[in-house]
Structure 1
Amino acid sequence: MNDLLSVRNLKTSFMTRAGEVQSVRGVSFNVQAGDVIGIVGESGSGKSVTAKSIIGLIQPPGKIIDGQVIFNGLNLASMSDKELRRIRGNEISMIFQDPMTSLNPVIRVGKQLIEVIRRHRKLDKHAARQRAIELLREVGIPSPEQRIDQYPHEFSGGMRQRVMIAMALSCNPQLLIADEPTTALDVTIQAQILGLMKQLKERTNTAILLITHDLGVVAQVCTRVIVMYGGLIMEEGTVEEIFEHPRHPYTQGLLKSIPRVTSGGRQRLSTIEGTPPDLLDPPSGCPFMERCPHAGDICKTMPHYANFNEEHRALCWLYEPAEGNDAKWREGDTT
Structure 2
Amino acid sequence: MTELLSVQNLKTSFMTREGEVESVRGVSFDIQQGEVVGIVGESGSGKSITAKSLLGLIQPPGVIKEGKVLFHGQDLRQMTEPQLRAIRGNQIAMIFQDPMTSLNPVIRVGAQMIEVLRRHQKLDKAGARQRAIEMLREVGIPSPEQRIDQYPHEFSGGMRQRVMIAMALSCKPELLIADEPTTALDVTIQAQILNLMKQLRDATNTSILLITHDLGVVAQVCTRVIVMYGGMIMEEGTVEDIFERPSHPYTQGLLRSIPRVKEGQRERLVSIEGTPPNLLHPPTGCPFMERCPHAMDKCREMPPYFVPEEGHRSLCWLLSSDMQQQKREQEGDEQ
TM range (shorter): over 0.9
Corresponding position: 1:331 with 2:327? yes
Look up the match of 1:283. Answer: 283
Contact 1:318/1:331 (8 A) holds in 2? no
Deviates more, 1:37-46 or 1:71-80: 71-80
Relative to the length of structure 2, the TM-score reads 0.94
Aligned 1:225-240 pairs, distance under 5 A: 225-240=225-240
Aligned residue type for 2:183: T
Shift of 1:260: 0.6
How far apart are the structure 1 equivalents of 2:292 and 2:269? Answer: 17
Report the equivalent of 2:63.
63
Name the CA distance, whole Å, in 1 between partners of 2:120 and 2:10: 28
Change (3 A) 1:118 1:235: same
Deviation at 1:7, TM superposition (A): 0.3
Given that 1:37 and 1:223 are in contact with CA atoms closer than 8 Å, whether structure 2 keeps it comes out as yes
Q: CA RMSD in A?
A: 1.8
| Matched-pair identity in % | 75
Give the superposition deviation at 1:311: 1.4
Residue 112 of structure 1: aligned partner? 112
Alignment of structure 1 residues 147-226 onto 2, 5 Å: 147-226=147-226
Report runs of 4+ in structure 1 exceeding 4 Å deviation.
Answer: 327-330
Secondary structure of the equivalent of 2:58?
coil
Matches within 5 A, 1:1-335: 1-321=1-321, 328=324, 330-331=326-327
Unaligned runs of 5+ in 1: none
Question: Distance in 2 between the 1:272 and 1:144 partners?
Answer: 44
Question: How many residues are matched?
Answer: 330
- Output the CA distance in 2 between the equivalents of 1:321 and 1:50: 31
CA distance in 1, matches of 2:15, 2:326: 39
Task: Note the C-alpha offset of 1:329.
Answer: 6.9
Tell which deviates more after alignment, 270-279 or 259-268.
259-268
CA distance in 1, matches of 2:159, 2:66: 39
Higher helix fraction: Structure 1 or Structure 2?
2
For structure 1, which segment, 229-238 or 70-79, has the greater mean C-alpha deviation from structure 2 after superposition? 70-79
Which residue identity does 1:57 align to in structure 2? L
Cα distance in 1 for partners of 2:327, 2:47 equals 30
For residue 262 of structure 1, what is the amino acid of its counterpart?
K
How far the C-alpha of 1:200 sits from its partner, in A, is 1.1
* Counterpart Cα distance in 2 of 1:286 and 1:260: 29
Letter in 1 for 2:253: G
Structure 2 unaligned regions, length at least 5? none
Partners of 1:88 and 1:34 in 2: how far apart? 19
Which letter maps to 1:285? Answer: G
- Give the Cα separation in 1 of the matches to 2:51 and 2:163: 21
Paired AA for residue 74 in structure 2: L
Report how far residue 264 of structure 1 moved.
Answer: 4.3
| Offset, 1:122 | 2.1
How far apart, in 2, do the equivalents of 1:5 and 1:294 lie?
A: 35
TM-score by length of 1: 0.94
1:144-198 CA-to-partner distances (Å, cap 9, x unmatched) read 2222112222223332222111110121100000001111322222112111111
SS at match of 1:4: strand
> How far has the Cα of 1:199 moved from its partner?
1.2
Partner deviation per Cα, 1:12-71 (whole Å, 9 max, x = no partner): 101111101000000000001111111000111000000000011001111111110000
Q: How far, CA to CA, are the matches of 2:325 and 2:5 in structure 1? A: 32
Contact 2:40 2:227 in 1 (8 A): yes
